[in-house]
Amino acid sequence: MSKTVTVKAHTNIALVKYWGKKDPKLMLPQNGSISLTLDHFYTETSVTFDPHATADQVSFNQKVIAPQKAQRIIKFLDLIRERSGETARAIVKTSNHVPTSAGLASSASGFAALAAAGSRAAGLELSLTDLSRLARRGSGSATRSIFGGFVEWHAGSDDASSYAEPIQDPVDWDIQMIAVVLQASKKPISSTAGMQRVVTTSPYYPAWVETANADLVAMRQAIAAHDLAAVGELAETNAMRMHALNLSAKPAFNYFTADTLTAIKAVQDLRANGINCYYTLDAGPNVKIICASSDTGTIKTALQRYFAASQLIVAQPGPGISITETLH
């Protein structure tokens, strides 16, 4: 008898970013980070270890991926096999409800779901903390998508000490994000390559680590106080410092488009008119607006001067992973 394990994992958006690794193999970050898991964007992944399969088979949104394009996933499955003693090849079916490689954290939800589904299908019964450590090996930000609500990833110094844990879940106060989806295509430089370039070439990188660590302390306090303005101001400043690093790299690069700048200006104009809203961006052009649900209508009306209603997606704080098993 074999079993198929299906896991749903939601994306998270970092409020205090991690940008740069100190150990690429173990995926240890240069600094810790804090995120908010979102309900709207998620990945659903099923894993079955099939003793009759001759190779790992990965399908993405119902299309089989060529092995050479699935190497990152296959390598992760090898890690699970190594830890579990499972020898069979895997059948992996993934559906993504988030634009891929566009700065909306698709790899976070993707590897969180794969870590939980793959490990359980291979017979491992891991704690959420251990799943967080495992997911990190696939994608750094996936370590946070194991959990719901506000989550902190401790940078750590080795595999055991680098993991995420919830700060506040469920979130019992009025905070949400409006995602302005500007571009669902692949970004010009991957997060992994961008981080590496910044760490090795930006003269400002040491200052980033120092200020990001200070932001962690302030963000914890802002979340505990349910202070939307403090959370928003910190997230906005931290995001722009991260993107400034990209401009200071050699050669310089950035993820912004003209529409990115339009969205940023719209948020600044709203704030100047008394609306409590702030922006953040990950490694992509899409802008996420931190705000209260009571201001949703006002913000969407203002943004629809520049963007279609379909580009504005409201997301509330989301849950951690959910797991189902099917025996066959």
List pLDDT tens digits, range 151-179.
999 999 999 999 999 999 999 999 999 99
Q: Tell me the C-alpha to C-alpha distance, in Å, between residue 154 and each of 110, 165, 234.
A: 20, 8, 18
Q: Given this model, what pLDDT does residue 183 score?
A: 66
The pLDDT > 70 percentage for the chain reads: 97
Q: Given this model, what pLDDT does residue 104 score?
A: 61
Mean per-residue pLDDT over the chain, rounded: 95
Residue 102 has pLDDT above 60, yes or no: no
Q: What are phi and psi of 13, to 5 degrees?
A: -115, 125
Q: Which residues are within 8 A (CB) of 225 and not within 5 positions of it... i.e. 6 or more apart?
A: none
Residue 55 has pLDDT above 90, yes or no: yes
Residue 323 has pLDDT above 80, yes or no: yes
Specify the residue for token string 């989806």. 181
In the chain, the amino acid numbered 134 is L
Q: Given this model, what pLDDT does residue 105 score?
A: 59
Q: Which domains does the chain have, with CATH numbers?
A: 3-170+323-327 (3.30.230.10), 176-315 (3.30.70.890)
Q: Given this model, what pLDDT does residue 155 score?
A: 98
Residue 287 has pLDDT above 60, yes or no: yes
Q: Given this model, what pLDDT does residue 106 score?
A: 83
The pLDDT > 90 percentage for the chain reads: 91
Contact 11, 96 (CB under 8 A): no
List pLDDT tens digits, range 209-226.
999 999 999 999 999 999
Mean predicted confidence (pLDDT) in 279-285: 93
Contact 226, 168 (CB under 8 A): no
Taking the C-alpha atoms of residue 27 and residue 138, their distance in angstroms, rounded to an integer, is 8
Q: DSSP readout, 192-238?
A: HHHHHHHHHH-TTHHHHHHHHHHHHHHHHHHHHTT-HHHHHHHHHHH
286, 287, 293, 295: CA torsion to nearest 10:
-130
List pLDDT tens digits, range 58-101.
999 999 999 999 999 999 999 999 999 999 999 999 999 876 54
Taking the model in full, what pTM does it have?
Answer: 0.96
